[in-house]
Structure formats: C-alpha cells, structure tokens
Amino acid sequence: MSRVVIRPFETADLPAASRLLAERHARHRLKHPLLPAEYEDPKLALIEVTAAWESEGASGSVLVDGDEVTGYLLGAPKSSPLWGPNIWVEQAGQAVRVPEYMRDLYGAAATKWVADGRTAQYVLVPDDAELVDAWFRLGFGSQHAHAIRPVPAEPLAARPNLTVRRAGRGDIPVLAELDLVLPRHQALSPVFSAGELPTLEEALADWEESIDDREYATFVAEYNGQVIGSSIGCSIEKSSAHGGLAQPDNAGFLAYAAVLPESRGLGAGRALGEAVLNWAVEVGYTSVVTDWRVTNLLSSRAWPRLGFVQTFHRLHRLIGY
C-alpha cells in the first residue's frame, strides 16, 4: 500500500488512462460482445478519454502504483438545471485494475466536486459486478439502465388482439397525448422524476413538424379500433446518451414507448417494442439498444422480458442528506 499514490488527474495521464480504458472495454465485451470493438484499441480509447478530460469543468484523480498509473476517474458538470448542482462520470470516465481502489479515487476526486458545490453526482458504470459494488459502497444507488439485445433471427409474430401499424398524420392528436404519458408516469411514485412535462400544444406542434421524418419509425397499437399506445425506433446515432463505448455498430434504438394508463395489461407495450425490433430487422441493423429508469416498474420489467440485457448502470448519489 505504501507505493500507491492518488493525485489529481493531469493531461500527461491521458495515454495511460486510454490503455486502462481499452483494457476495461475488452473485459466488458467478453460479457457484452455487441458493444463496439474498436475501443479495445488504446488509440481510439484515447479519443474518448481526451474528450472527457477536455469537457468544461472536468476534474478527477489517478492512482499510481510504483511508476504505473493503474486507475483513473474523471467527471464534469452538465449545464442543464434538470440534474441539479451536478457532476457526471460518463462512459469513458473511469477505469481501474482493482475495483476496490475506485473508492479511493472517488474519495480524492469528490473532495473538489463537493467543495465546488457539485452535490448531485451521477456515474455511468459498465456492467462489472465488482465495480458496481464498489460504487454502491460509496453511497451510490441504481437510477437508470442502458441495455442491448440482438435483433430477432425472424420477425416476431403479431398479437391477435392488437393491431400494430406505422403511424400517419391522422394519428397526430393521439400521438401528442401519448407524448405526455411517459413523463407523467415518471413523475409519480416510485420514480419521482423531475423531468419537464411538455404541454399538449407543444407536443402537437412537434408532431406536425416531425411526423414525416423518415429517420424515425413511429408505430401505434390499436385495440378495438382505438389507438392505445405508440413506440419510436431510430438509429442509435440519434441518442446522445449512447455515444462512444456505449454505441454499438449498426444498431437501432428503441427511443420511446407508451401506453395509455387505462389500456395497460393488454400486451400493447410488448407489441410496440416488438414492432421496433421487427423494423430493425427490415432496416438491416444487427442490434437494438434502449434504456429505462430502474424505478419505472413497467419498463424495468417489460424490456428485460423482451430480451434486453443491461450493459451500463447509471448510479446516483445526493450529497448532504
């Protein structure tokens, strides 16, 4: 232990950090091979670590064992007030050879973060049980899941009691209504999300403008001739939350799905998810990514049942309470 030193991250640490990140990603891909392979190359991992380090307000720590850097941690704030007085450790923001030492790295980095008033803390952790456990023992809890699955080998069968079809202009009023369903649901217990709720007028205007955008595939589910739910598929590249090491090659994205509260329990949510998976097959994608709040009891059960497997854990800690 006497040879181990923890100090602030410096620009000169970037090459060593990139090697550690490439090692971490190679281990991660043993469990989740659909994640992009290119970041096993330290030269490409360097691009991601450099971007994290050059983010406005970034700071962090490194662990030096003898003459070798064996761990690092980098965080930076986001400007959106939605996240509170925040600091974020993103996909490329951490790697360590001995997971237990992540607790020491955090202890050093968080001293500055809290001194700067960054008391709402978020960290995206790869699906590594020991590393997740180290963060749990730092007082962090699970908030959000990132997940992936391969596209189905054959199109999934339609459900006899439901009709799922592509949405058209005539569906705009109900699509706008469905846009409010998910944020309303997530404002309730046990999610208690602070996300902003759009107005119906804003949702209508957005659909009037975007309904014909071919980069998005919008589906609706009908029951007894009435639209009761919707889902949206697009390229993973449209999602800012799934960049870099979390962005698989040639992947689709299940971007949104919602069912009217009075119509839940009919299987519409699953059918709408399956519609996006079938669309991904038609487009030629090899995998589909999605994400959900783990406290959303509906989505946190529906999407794993549809075959999605968690790849990253977004953890959260609020300091001072």
Question: Which amino acid does the sequence have at 135?
Answer: W
CA angle (40 as vertex; 36, 43 as ends), nearest 5: 110
State how far the Cα of 136 lies from the Cα of 123, in Å rounded to an integer. 11
Question: Is residue 123 a contact partner of residue 94, using CB atoms and an 8 Å limit?
Answer: yes
Q: For residue 268, how many C-alpha atoms fall within 13 Å in the half-sphere facing its CB?
A: 26
Can you give the pLDDT at residue 262?
96
Count the helices and strands in the chain (H runs, E runs).
9, 13
Question: Is residue 298 a contact partner of residue 100, using CB atoms and an 8 Å limit?
Answer: no
CA R_g for the chain: 21
Can you give the pLDDT at residue 156?
79
H/E stretch holding 141 reads: strand 141-150
State how far the Cα of 124 lies from the Cα of 127, in Å rounded to an integer. 10
Question: Is residue 132 a contact partner of residue 313, using CB atoms and an 8 Å limit?
Answer: yes
Its pTM stands at 0.94
Picking from 176, 317, 162, 200, the residue whose alpha carbon sits closest to that of residue 256 is 176
Q: What separation in angstroms does the CA of 171 have from each of 73, 167, 221?
A: 47, 6, 11
Give the count of beta carbons closer than 10 Å to the beta carbon of residue 320.
6
Q: What separation in angstroms does the CA of 169 have from each of 199, 202, 220, 222, 224?
A: 19, 16, 12, 15, 20
Can you give the pLDDT at residue 1?
46
CA angle (113 as vertex; 105, 98 as ends), nearest 5: 10
H/E stretch holding 234 reads: strand 226-235
* Both tokens assigned to 140: 């962090």
State how far the Cα of 311 lies from the Cα of 203, in Å rounded to an integer. 31
Can you give the pLDDT at residue 195?
79
State how far the Cα of 172 lies from the Cα of 160, in Å rounded to an integer. 25
* Both tokens assigned to 137: 């023992």
**Average pLDDT per consecutive 10 residues, the chain (321 residues; last block may be shorter):** 85 98 98 98 98 98 96 96 94 98 98 97 98 98 98 84 96 97 95 89 96 97 97 96 95 98 95 97 97 97 97 96 77
Domains and CATH numbers, the chain: 4-139 (3.40.630.30), 150-308 (3.40.630.30)
State how far the Cα of 7 lies from the Cα of 108, in Å rounded to an integer. 7
